C-alpha cells in the first residue's frame, strides 16, 4: 500500500516576548491593574511566546485591517522561507523535487500570495502545485496534512506543508472583556513546516528513492463539527483586524466529542486508546488539555509536550500541532507506536489524525 511519511520538520519564530513583562508593561495599566484580569492572564499557561508585533514595542491594536495585512505580507515570507528551508534540509530534499506546496494561515491574506512567493524564492519547479488553506483556525494543520499526504500517495511526489500564523497582528483594543484578556494571553506567532515523501513502497518516478530514512507515517483522519455551538469559537473579520471570540463553554463541548471521535479513529484502524504511544493535543488553553486528559483517561505526563509548547511558544493557531509533533520527536517517539494528533477550532470543529512513529 502506498504511504506518505513526514521526513522533515522546520520551524521559525519572530521576536521572543516574556509573558510577565507584557502583562506588567502593557495590559495591567490598561486594565486598571485588575486582579481578576491578571489571574486569568497568568492562568493561560504561557511563560514565553513570539510575536512580530510586541505590544511593548509595536502596539497595533488600533490599526486598520489593511495595515495589518500589509505588515503580514512584509513579515511572513522570511519566516516561511526559514521554516520550509529547514524542513527540506532535515528531509534531505532539494526544493526542485517538491510536487506540492500547501500553505495554511488564518491570519493573513494576499494575492499573489505567500505560496507563490515562496515557491519562486526557494527555487521550486515551475510545475509545482500550490494549495492555500485559509481561515480554518487552529485545527487547519490536520486537514492540511491530510491533503498533502493524499497528494504524495496519489502522485508519488514529495510535498511540503507550511503553517504560518501571525496572531499578534490582530491584537484588539484593550477592554475589560475577560474573554479578550484570555485571547491576548494565549495567542502567539510561529511558522512550522513539514516535508512528506512517499513511503518505501510508494516511490514515484520523481522520487525513486522513496522515503529518506525514518519518518512519521500519516495513516488516517477524523473530523467532528458541532454546528449548534458554532458561536462558541469564532474568528471574525473586522475593520480592526480579526477578532477571536472564545466561550468558556468550549472545553465542555469538546469534552462531549473527543472520546467518540478518537475511539472511531482508532477502532477503524484496529486500535484502542491503550495502543497509542504518544499524544499531540493542541493546547487551546490549560482547561482544554485537562478536559482531553480526563475524557480519554490519559496519565498525567501524556500531554507534557503539549504543555511545554504552550508554556514556551503559546497558542500559535494552526502551527501549534506541528510544533508539538516536533517536540515529541525530539523527546523520542516510541518506534512503531501509533500517535494521535488532535486540534480544535471554529465551527466548533475537532480534527484528529492517526500517525505512525
At 120-139, the pLDDT tens digits run 999 999 999 999 999 999 99
On whether the CB atoms of residues 333 and 276 are closer than 8 A, the answer is: no
The predicted pLDDT at position 244 comes to 87
- Report yes or no on 308 lying in a domain: yes
Query: Does residue 106 have an active-site annotation?
Result: no
Q: At 237, is the secondary structure helix, strand, or coil?
A: strand
For 10, list phi and psi in degrees, rounded to 5. -150, 145
Would you call 225 helix, strand, or coil by DSSP? strand
Q: Can you read off the three cell numbers belonging to residue 103?
A: 500553505
Domain shared by 165 and 274, yes or no: no
Only one residue has cell 503559546, namely: 314
For residue 301, count other CB atoms closer than 10 A to its CB.
9
Assess contact for 220 and 267: CB atoms under 8 A: no
Q: What is the mean pLDDT of the chain?
A: 92
Q: Where does residue 46 fall: left (phi above 0), alpha (psi -120 to 50 degrees), or beta otherwise?
A: beta
Position 301 pLDDT exceeds 80: yes
Residue 124 in any domain: the answer is: yes
- Report yes or no: 282 and 342 within 8 Å, Cβ to Cβ: yes
pLDDT in tens, 184-211: 999 999 999 999 999 864 344 444 333 3
Q: Is residue 210 domain-resident?
A: no
Q: What is the pLDDT of residues 236-292, one digit of tens each?
A: 999 999 998 877 777 887 888 899 999 999 999 999 999 999 999 999 999 999 999
Can you give the pLDDT at residue 205?
40
Specify if 27 maps to a domain.
Answer: yes
At 350, list the grid cell.
Answer: 475537532
Check whether residue 141 and residue 276 sit in a common domain: no
Q: Would you give the DSSP letter of residue 27?
A: I
From CA 220, how far away is CA 237, in angstroms rounded?
32
In this predicted structure, the answer to whether residue 298 has a pLDDT above a threshold of 70 is: yes
> pLDDT band at residue 40, thresholds of 50, 70 and 90?
very high
106, 138, 163, 316: the catalytic one is 138
Please tell me the predicted confidence (pLDDT) of residue 224: 92
Question: Do both 38 and 159 map to the same domain?
Answer: yes
Q: Are residues 324 and 222 in the same domain?
A: yes
CATH of the domain at 101: 3.40.47.10
Q: Which domain holds residue 17?
A: 4-198
Domains of the chain: total: 2
| Strand residue runs (E) in the chain | 4-12, 16-18, 48-50, 100-105, 129-134, 159-166, 189-198, 216-225, 233-238, 241-246, 278-281, 338-345, 349-356
Using a cut of 0.75, tell me whether the model's pTM lies above it.
yes
Amino acid at each position: 500500500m502506498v504511504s506518505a511519511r513526514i521526513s522533515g520538520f522546520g520551524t521559525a519564530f519572530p521576536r521572543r516576548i516574556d509573558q510577565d513583562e507584557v502583562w506588567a508593561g502593557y495590559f495591567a495599566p490598561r486594565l486598571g491593574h485588575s486582579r481578576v484580569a491578571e489571574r486569568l492572564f497568568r492562568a493561560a499557561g504561557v511563560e514565553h511566546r513570539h510575536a512580530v508585533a510586541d505590544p511593548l514595542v509595536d502596539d497595533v491594536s488600533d490599526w486598520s485591517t489593511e495595515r495589518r495585512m500589509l505588515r503580514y505580507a512584509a513579515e511572513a515570507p522570511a519566516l516561511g522561507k526559514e521554516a520550509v528551508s529547514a524542513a527540506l534540509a532535515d528531509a534531505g530534499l532539494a526544493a526542485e523535487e517538491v510536487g506540492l506546496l500547501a500553505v495554511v494561515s488564518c491570519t493573513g491574506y494576499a494575492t499573489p500570495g505567500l505560496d507563490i512567493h515562496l515557491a519562486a524564492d526557494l527555487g521550486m519547479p515551475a510545475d509545482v502545485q500550490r494549495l492555500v488553506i485559509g481561515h480554518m483556525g487552529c485545527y487547519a494543520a490536520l486537514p492540511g496534512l491530510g491533503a498533502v499526504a493524499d497528494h504524495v500517495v496519489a502522485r508519488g511526489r514529495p510535498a511540503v506543508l507550511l503553517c504560518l500564523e501571525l496572531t499578534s497582528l490582530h491584537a484588539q483594543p484593550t477592554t475589560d472583556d475577560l474573554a479578550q484578556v484570555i485571547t491576548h494571553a494565549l495567542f502567539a506567532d510561529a511558522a512550522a513546516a513539514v516535508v512528506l515523501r512517499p513511503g518505501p513502497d510508494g516511490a514515484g518516478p520523481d522520487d525513486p528513492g522513496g522515503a529518506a530514512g525514518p519518518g512519521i507515517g500519516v495513516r488516517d483522519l477524523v473530523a467532528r463539527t458541532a454546528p449548534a455551538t458554532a458561536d462558541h469559537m469564532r474568528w471574525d473579520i473586522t475593520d480592526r483586524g480579526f477578532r477571536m471570540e472564545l466561550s468558556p463553554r468550549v472545553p465542555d463541548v469538546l469534552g462531549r466529542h473527543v472520546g467518540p471521535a478518537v475511539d472511531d479513529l482508532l477502532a477503524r484502524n484496529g486500535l484502542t486508546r491503550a495502543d497509542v504511544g504518544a499524544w499531540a493535543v493542541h493546547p487551546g488553553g490549560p482547561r482544554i488539555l485537562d478536559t482531553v486528559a480526563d475524557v480519554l483517561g490519559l496519565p498525567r505526563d501524556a500531554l507534557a509536550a503539549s504543555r511545554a509548547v504552550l508554556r514556551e511558544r503559546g497558542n500559535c493557531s494552526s502551527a501549534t500541532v506541528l510544533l508539538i509533533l516536533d517536540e515529541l520527536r525530539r523527546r523520542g517517539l516510541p518506534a512503531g507506536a501509533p500517535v494521535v494528533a488532535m486540534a480544535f477550532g471554529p465551527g466548533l470543529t475537532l480534527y484528529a489524525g492517526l500517525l505512525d512513529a
